[in-house]
Amino acid sequence: MTLSLIRIALGCCAVVFASLAFSGEPGASKARALDRPVLEFHQGQYFRWSAPRGWGMNETTNGVDLFAPGRATFVSSALLAGGFGDMSPPQFLAMTLRQVNPSARVTQARRLRDQPGILAPWRVEEYEIAATYQGIPVRMNATVGVSSAYGRYYATMTLYQSPASTWEQVRTWLPAVAHSIVVTNPRQVAGADRVMLPRNNPLDNSGLIESWRQKGLSEDRISQARQEATMGYERMHDSQTGRNYNMPYEAYDAAAGGYRNPMRPNELLRKAGPGE
């Protein structure tokens, strides 16, 4: 497998993450009173993500864990590239839950639309889960995608959890945290840089490269707008500090004509462009 193929496969993982963000039913949350936090962006070595201020963060080459104080509420992502054997979403979920929380039990499973893959389509399933954490009843939601072919598989999972008592409220914004996690270092993520590969000398066609870059920017704008509309968050940028925020729609100040900067409330944030 060439390095470009590994990058494409990891890119497909990102597509699965993004596409799964639209599997829910955002309209159902409109009947609830919203009290959603501002999400601050962070850049790690392999991934980028957003989370409420004060949350703990742990990044590895295979994923990101984000957790509130007390750790009963958390978001986790996992990415496995090039595993050996055959794998299905239920099997990958069971393997993960044995490590995360052995008390977990699936209460509902739903097959989602398959996503395109390089060697094989991604089979995608969503699960509702009940468990206990330090004696407290908790609820989880997990979305798992697996692409398996020729004795190897790629798997990706997003999972978020909270105490059962706060589940209905936090699930109005926890999915936005989960689906903000994206791969930014495909050369090293999931150990891709440790695979010995033949050298490749691609042609340098600056005109062709620029045309594909412009095409990608257009697709990024569409993808960003679609995700913002689905999640109810808008990506904004602080020009002075360079920090990005995911601002909940209800934080929009109509009188001021924008979103107020969480750090300097007398200033307005500007709309973040694609890739920011």
Average pLDDT, the chain: 79
| pLDDT value, residue 29 | 41
pLDDT tens sequence across 215-225: 555 555 556 55
| pLDDT confidence bin for 167, thresholds 50/70/90 | very high
Tokens of 72: 């009963």
pTM of the shown model:
0.67
Could you state, in order of their start, the residue ranges of all structural domains in the chain? 3-33+55-194, 207-271
Q: How far apart are CA 51 and CA 179, in angstroms?
A: 11
Mean pLDDT for 83-88 is: 88
Mean pLDDT for 120-144 is: 95
Mean pLDDT for 77-99 is: 89
| pLDDT confidence bin for 69, thresholds 50/70/90 | very high
CATH topology of domain 3-33+55-194: Protein Transport Mog1p; Chain A (3.40.1000)
Q: Return the percentage of the chain with pLDDT > 90, whole number.
A: 38
| pLDDT confidence bin for 191, thresholds 50/70/90 | low
